[in-house]
């Protein structure tokens, strides 16, 4: 009898040990997924389904943190690149797509971060701020873009206007990670009010701790006690910051007028070694001419205004296969002009067949007939 009880006890003990061992293996597998993103990295091409992990709002901007399910490893991004986000703005219509620069940089990312500003007439930005909350899944393309930080430059000027801080902040993340830091970095962040200075406290702390970083926020509508720069960025502010520099690399992401002003001011300084200028602007700036034309696309008649990009005027009426960058980089809004005259608003940055134009870089100069083939 005693032997029988002893055998049962040993049997139960063995089962308990096996159960504990199985639980330990399961726990180790889960920890591996969470820490290392699984055994297989995500492909660097295609579409991602990203979970919104966090959201915080500041002024008219939301800052969201995104990851894959189970925090799997994400495709790496170069500092300055963007995500093309899909937004199902209208039921029954193809999703609209807009590009938003990645705000932070990691060599092996498990999270992305974006800052999206509510624009007065922005279909996508307004939809995103109204509908994107923690737990929602949004779709995006993998990181892309040519506005990236070069490792060749040692004296760097960073200029951001408002929410244009996002690619610049990613560049600072990468600069801080380098074994050999740059010689000098000056960062001008232009905004109207202090509430619009995203990551203000963090950048102040960086500037106090890093000897090569000179952080210079500039407000056009400051409060009375504001201790920093006031007004608009101009030649005098640049000349003061770059005094004694032999050369410079200028990276800027802001409104077209501000970037034009800063570039002209920087070039007028006539640094001995010259200045390299790199800039990012989503969308091609255009001004309506007041002339209206009819575009025939597959039998559909769409009225557009001259002076504005065909992509912006046709979007929602004509389905483009891929119109993500909106700045002449990806080539996804390629169209063939079958009849009529157009005018180029901007020279495309990607190679394109001479029989085609990019809708994002082109405006109508007459009635048109187009095809997407």
Give me the pLDDT at residue 11, please: 62
Give me the pLDDT at residue 38, please: 44
- Considering the entire predicted model, what is its pTM? 0.78
Give me the pLDDT at residue 67, please: 97
Q: How far is CA 258 from CA 51, 102, 119, 160, in A?
A: 34, 21, 18, 9
Both structure tokens of 203? 């950048």
- 361 in Cβ contact with 284 (< 8 Å): yes
The candidate with the shortest Cα–Cα distance to 275, out of 241, 244, 256, 251, is 251
Q: How far is CA 168 from the centre of its chain?
A: 10
- 149 in Cβ contact with 175 (< 8 Å): yes
Q: Angle at CA 99, nearest 5°, toward 193 and 111?
A: 85
Query: 151 by DSSP, 3-state: which?
Result: coil
Query: 35 by DSSP, 3-state: which?
Result: helix
Query: 180 by DSSP, 3-state: which?
Result: coil
What DSSP assignment string belongs to 191-250?
ESSGGG-TTHHHHHHHHHH-TTEEEEEEESS--TT--SEES---HHHHHHHTTT-S-EEE
Q: How far is CA 212 from CA 175, 185, 263, in A?
A: 10, 6, 22
pLDDT tens for the 373 residues of the chain, in order: 455 555 555 666 676 777 777 777 677 655 544 444 444 444 555 889 999 999 999 999 999 999 999 999 999 999 999 999 998 887 767 788 888 999 999 999 999 999 999 988 788 899 999 999 999 999 999 998 889 999 889 999 999 999 999 999 999 999 999 999 999 999 999 999 999 999 999 999 999 999 999 999 999 999 999 999 999 999 999 999 999 999 999 999 998 889 999 999 999 999 999 999 998 865 655 667 778 888 988 778 888 888 888 888 887 777 776 666 677 777 778 888 888 999 888 777 777 888 889 888 888 889 998 887 6
Q: Angle at CA 21, nearest 5°, toward 15 and 26?
A: 125
What DSSP assignment string belongs to 280-299?
E-SS------S-EEEEEETT
Q: Is 197 exposed, middle or buried (0-12, 13-18, 19+ CB in 10 A)?
A: buried
- 16 in Cβ contact with 47 (< 8 Å): no
- 233 in Cβ contact with 250 (< 8 Å): no
């Amino acid at each position: 009898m005693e032997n029988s009880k002893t055998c049962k006890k040993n049997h139960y003990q063995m089962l308990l040990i096996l159960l504990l061992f199985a639980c330990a293996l399961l726990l180790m597998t889960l920890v591996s997924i969470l820490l290392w993103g699984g055994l297989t990295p995500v492909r660097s091409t295609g579409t991602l389904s990203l979970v919104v992990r966090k959201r915080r709002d500041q002024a008219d901007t939301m800052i969201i943190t995104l990851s894959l399910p189970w925090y799997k490893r994400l495709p790496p991004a170069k500092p300055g690149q963007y995500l093309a986000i899909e937004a199902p703005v209208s039921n029954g219509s193809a999703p609209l797509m807009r590009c938003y620069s990645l705000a932070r940089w990691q060599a092996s990312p498990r999270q992305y971060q974006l800052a999206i500003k509510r624009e007065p007439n922005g279909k996508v930005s307004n939809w995103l701020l109204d509908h994107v909350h923690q737990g929602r899944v949004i779709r995006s393309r993998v990181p892309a873009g040519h506005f990236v930080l070069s490792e060749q430059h040692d004296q760097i000027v960073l200029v951001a206007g408002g929410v244009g801080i996002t690619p610049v902040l990613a560049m600072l993340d990468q600069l801080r990670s380098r074994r050999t830091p740059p010689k000098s970095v000056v960062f001008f962040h232009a905004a109207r009010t202090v509430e619009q200075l995203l990551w203000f406290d963090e950048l102040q702390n960086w500037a106090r701790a890093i000897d090569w970083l000179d952080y210079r926020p500039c407000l056009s509508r400051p409060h009375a006690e504001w201790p920093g720069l006031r007004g608009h960025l101009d030649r005098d502010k640049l000349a003061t910051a770059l005094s004694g520099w032999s050369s410079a690399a200028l990276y800027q992401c802001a409104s077209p007028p501000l970037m034009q002003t800063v570039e002209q001011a920087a070039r007028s300084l006539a640094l001995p070694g010259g200045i390299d200028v790199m800039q990012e602007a989503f969308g091609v700036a255009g001004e309506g001419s007041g002339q209206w034309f009819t575009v025939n696309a597959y039998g559909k008649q769409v009225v557009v205004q001259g002076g504005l990009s065909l992509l912006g005027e046709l979007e929602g009426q004509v389905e483009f296969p891929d119109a993500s960058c909106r700045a002449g980089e990806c080539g996804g809004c390629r169209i063939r002009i079958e009849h009529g005259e157009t005018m180029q608003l901007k020279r495309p940055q990607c190679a394109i067949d001479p029989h085609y134009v990019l809708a994002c870089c082109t405006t109508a100069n007459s009635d048109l007939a187009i095809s997407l083939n």
